[in-house]
Amino acid sequence: MDFLSFLTDKKESVLEYVNSVIIMCSVSMAKKTIEKIFCICLETNIKSIYTLLDNDKTGKKTTKFFKDNLKNLVVDDKSYIYAKFNDYNDFLQKRK
């Protein structure tokens, strides 16, 4: 839901992100996501990733997991955008 909220907010097409977005349905998929990121990085020249995870203990822990395990990439935590809210969708709903 948060990625769809992001697209709606930015008024951008999903097609702009087809080859550059990995959506986790749950933070329990973090290990598999790391594997996918490694594969993508081998095929491309990607040097950094953004995380937009929940502003809770689990979201912060998962962001740290990415930073600790993707040392060859810059992991940029974008949750500061919606710092006063639990997630991007909550940010959008309360902003209106």
Q: What is the pLDDT of residues 20-50, one digit of tens each?
A: 678 888 999 999 999 999 888 888 888 888 8
62-65: long-range contacts at Cβ-Cβ below 8 A with a sequence spacing of 24 or more? 62/27, 62/30, 65/30, 65/34
- pLDDT score, position 96: 65
Give the residue numbers spanning the domain of 57: 2-8+27-95
Distance CA 38, CA 11 (A): 29
Residue 15 lies in a domain: no
Residue 41 lies in a domain: yes
Whether 82 and 59 have beta carbons less than 8 Å apart is answered as no
Residue 78 lies in a domain: yes
Residue 19 lies in a domain: no
HSE, CB side, 13 Å, CA atoms: give it for residue 40.
17
pTM over 0.85, yes/no: no
Residue 17 lies in a domain: no
Residue 42 lies in a domain: yes
How many domains in the chain?
1
Residue carrying the six token digits 């951008």: 12
HSE, CB side, 13 Å, CA atoms: give it for residue 94.
10
Residue 82 lies in a domain: yes
